[in-house]
A and B are shown apart, each in its own frame.
Chain A
Amino acid sequence: MDPASTSPTRRTHGDDTYDPPVETLLRADKLTKRYGSVIALDGVSFEIGGTITGLLGPNGAGKSTAIKLFLGLTEPTSGRAEVLGQSPTQDEQIRARLGYMPEHDCLPSAVNAAEFLKHMAEVSGLPPRHARVRAADTLRHVGLFEERYRPIGGYSTGMKQRVKLAQALVHDPVLVLLDEPTAGLDPSGREEMLALVRKTHSQFGISLVMSSHLMGDVERTCERILVLENGRVVQQGETATFTEDYETLYIEVTARRSELMAALAARQIDAREDGAAVVVEDVAGETYDHIRDALVEADAPLRRLAPRRRALTDLFRTDDESEKPA
């Protein structure tokens, strides 16, 4: 039952094969961190690879502790934290291959983005000439143009978030750790930031670990998730398995619902009403055709035909609202 052991992760459904990520970038091996009497991480083991991984969990679950351990900012109490096979506390140079985008404000206000980014690139070890060029390129990639010559203090939240992301990317890291990257952004800003996150992986080839409380963000960007709670791993695997379809079909029509119910009953299809939809269980093969024909017979305009999807938020529901699979 111990999810922290090295045996395959527990899944709530689906097949039980666990395939670890292809190239392991971060590895935790029976990693424990204790602060006095508080156990922040309790013997966790997991691997994070070349993809976008969502790091989830309630406040106090151990996510920030894990991040600090991988960044080499603190020593494990026991066990190992490895970055590219090395211990980050033994050699701080491994940090040159990582990037970090904090959640909170962390930018100076008097400097402009171009100078700040060049400076950060140099602090990451790049010679000045290269630092300047990479700073300019990175600002272009995150979408900051003329603004880059104005002091950061005058930037909007969206622009500041881009600068924060840029400083995490400028030195071409292998993996970037993001902490709530969409915090404070309005819907358009949020969508732009998530698009940047996806672009960072798909176009720049950089892997990411995103710690977030917004399951919508995670579902839209992360290929894998790792869920911590009370210092232990409680779930991990591909996002797709946690957002799989149930085998229940939801049919939404804009009119003549009762005629539809009758037409379905006439075809021996068991249906019930649930809120705005008509629900049919265990739909497969020919049943789809019968449903289509029932719709034609009832002359009911079809708005939506979709299986009920599991959402990541279901992982956190304590009541029995989340359906169990058939």
Chain B
Amino acid sequence: MSESPTGQVFDLGFSRYEGKREGRRRSTLAVYKDGLRTAMGLGRGGKAKILPWVFVSASMIPALIFALIAGAVDRVAPDFSEELDLPSHADYYAIAGIILFLFAAVVGPELFCPDRSNRTINLYLVRPLRPTNYAAARWASLVTIMTVVAWIPQLILLLGLTLGAPKPGTYLADHWTDIPRFLLAGIVIAVYVSTIASLAATFAKRRAYAAAFLVGLFILTAAVVGSVGAALSDDTTKWIALLSVGDVPLYVNDLIFGEQTSNAEEASPLPGVILVGWFLIVVVAAGALVLRRYRKLTL
């Protein structure tokens, strides 16, 4: 018995989507993941990768240098290392914090400004998430990157100091408290620079304006505080010093480590509560302004 040959034609037409629709959480997560890719230039061609990866490298250089010095000194002249005042985890952000600030100033606007200037934001506004979710997700992307970039050098430094020590095991046992401290300080400074950068990027029309504004703010407030502080009494100066934008997280850093790093000193006489409180006020106020601006956006 022969059977007639069969054939099938498959419908390649548009199909209905019967799968899950996951709500705001998925939407926000998607914006967050996209933020990570945008900031680091992934999937966006070679040119977009230059700045972020240059900054990542730059942030590691001081740590590498210090780690090498620490290791070398201990090998070459062990007696010397006691006298040499090598940079420690506590000092690190005082020295390298500027790089983090610049990184946020350059990469932060990348996360907020282009979507508004080329009006891609409209495509987000009509999707099932709130504009504040979008802004928060972008902020979170920036904080994530800043935290990683803040931690890596500290980890490198830790590695260097540990391996460079005559007895690495003893070194770690003696200094293990450094680890939670620098992790926390890293988060503090990451959150701070991210929020300030997000604020500038939220109100600036172009990336370049935001970056320029941030750098200018940093330098200007430091200069003003420096010159004014010199003229006034210490009692007044310690309050005015809070206005130096770049120093605010460093005071918190000092509190975490319990020692004073050379740069940020004018306000250190103030009680810890004030210093931490001021940090929180600045971060929360900046964040609130960002959310408020985005809440008001429409097509």
A residues whose Cβ falls under 8 Å from a Cβ of B? 64, 67-68, 71, 73-74, 92-96, 98-100, 102, 104-112, 115, 119-120, 122-127, 130, 134, 137, 141, 151, 167, 171-172, 203-205
In chain B, positions 134-172 with a C-beta closer than 8 Å to chain A are: none
A123 touches B127 (CB 8 A): yes
Inter-chain CA distance A37–B25, complex, in Å, is: 39
A125 touches B23 (CB 8 A): yes
Chain B hits for A126, CB < 8 A: 17, 19-22, 26
Inter-chain CA distance A100–B26, complex, in Å, is: 20
Can you report 5 A-B residue pairs in the complex whose CB atoms are below 8 A from each other?
A: A102-B122, A106-B120, A111-B43, A204-B13, A204-B14
Chain B hits for A112, CB < 8 A: 43
Given contacts A105-B119, A123-B30, contact A137 B14 (CB under 8 A): yes
What is the distance, in angstroms, from A102's C-beta to the closest C-beta of chain B? 5
Within 8 Å by CB of B128, from A92, A115, A205, lies: A92
In chain B, positions 1-55 with a C-beta closer than 8 Å to chain A are: 13-17, 19-24, 26-27, 29-31, 34, 43-45, 48
Given contacts A73-B299, A125-B22, contact A109 B118 (CB under 8 A): yes
B118 touches A64 (CB 8 A): no
How many CB-defined contacts (below 8 Å) exist between A and B? 114
Q: What residue in chain B is nearest A179 (Cβ atoms)? A: B299
User: In the complex, given contacts A115-B43, A120-B123, what are 12 additional A-B residue pairs having Cβ atoms less than 8 angstroms apart?
Assistant: A92-B128, A100-B126, A104-B119, A106-B119, A106-B122, A109-B118, A112-B43, A123-B31, A123-B129, A124-B128, A126-B19, A137-B14
B22 touches A127 (CB 8 A): yes
Within 8 Å by CB of B115, from A108, A141, A204, lies: A108
Given contacts A68-B299, A119-B34, A126-B26, contact A96 B21 (CB under 8 A): yes
What is the distance, in angstroms, from B171's C-beta to the closest C-beta of chain A? 44
Chain A hits for B17, CB < 8 A: 126, 130, 134, 171-172
Chain B hits for A120, CB < 8 A: 123, 127
Chain B hits for A119, CB < 8 A: 30, 34
What is the distance, in angstroms, from A171's C-beta to the closest C-beta of chain B? 7
A110 touches B14 (CB 8 A): no
B45 touches A107 (CB 8 A): no
Chain B hits for A127, CB < 8 A: 19-20, 22, 26
What is the distance, in angstroms, from B124's C-beta to the closest C-beta of chain A? 7
Instruction: Tell me whether B130 is interfacial, beta carbon within 8 Å.
Output: yes
Inter-chain CA distance A149–B130, complex, in Å, is: 30
What is the distance, in angstroms, from A61's C-beta to the closest C-beta of chain B? 16
Chain B hits for A171, CB < 8 A: 17, 21
Inter-chain CA distance A244–B23, complex, in Å, is: 46
B residues whose Cβ falls under 8 Å from a Cβ of A? 13-17, 19-24, 26-27, 29-31, 34, 43-45, 48, 114-115, 118-120, 122-130, 298-299
B43 touches A102 (CB 8 A): no
Chain B hits for A137, CB < 8 A: 14-15
B299 touches A122 (CB 8 A): no
Chain A hits for B31, CB < 8 A: 123
Within 8 Å by CB of A172, from B16, B26, B30, lies: B16
B123 touches A106 (CB 8 A): yes
Chain A hits for B125, CB < 8 A: 71, 73
What is the distance, in angstroms, from B138's C-beta to the closest C-beta of chain A? 12
Inter-chain CA distance A92–B21, complex, in Å, is: 13
What is the distance, in angstroms, from B93's C-beta to the closest C-beta of chain A? 32
Q: What residue in chain B is nearest A100 (Cβ atoms)? A: B126
Inter-chain CA distance A105–B27, complex, in Å, is: 22
Q: What residue in chain A is nearest B22 (Cβ atoms)? A: A125
B27 touches A123 (CB 8 A): yes
What is the distance, in angstroms, from B294's C-beta to the closest C-beta of chain A? 13
A102 touches B299 (CB 8 A): yes
A111 touches B14 (CB 8 A): no
A125 touches B128 (CB 8 A): yes
B298 touches A73 (CB 8 A): yes
Chain B hits for A115, CB < 8 A: 43
What is the distance, in angstroms, from B78's C-beta to the closest C-beta of chain A? 52
Q: What residue in chain A is nearest B43 (Cβ atoms)? A: A115
What is the distance, in angstroms, from A67's C-beta to the closest C-beta of chain B? 8
What is the distance, in angstroms, from A252's C-beta to the closest C-beta of chain B? 42
Chain A hits for B115, CB < 8 A: 108
Chain A hits for B298, CB < 8 A: 68, 73-74
Q: What residue in chain A is nearest B130 (Cβ atoms)? A: A92
Chain A hits for B126, CB < 8 A: 71, 73, 95, 98-100
Inter-chain CA distance A107–B119, complex, in Å, is: 7
Q: What residue in chain A is nearest B34 (Cβ atoms)? A: A119
B26 touches A96 (CB 8 A): no
Chain A hits for B48, CB < 8 A: 110
Given contacts A68-B298, A92-B130, A105-B119, contact A130 B27 (CB under 8 A): no
Inter-chain CA distance A130–B128, complex, in Å, is: 17
A125 touches B27 (CB 8 A): yes
Inter-chain CA distance A151–B47, complex, in Å, is: 13
Most chain B beta carbons < 10 A, residue from A73, A100, A115, A124: A124
Inter-chain CA distance A107–B122, complex, in Å, is: 10
B299 touches A111 (CB 8 A): no
What is the distance, in angstroms, from A152's C-beta to the closest C-beta of chain B? 10
Within 8 Å by CB of A102, from B44, B119, B129, lies: B119
Inter-chain CA distance A205–B281, complex, in Å, is: 52
A125 touches B26 (CB 8 A): yes
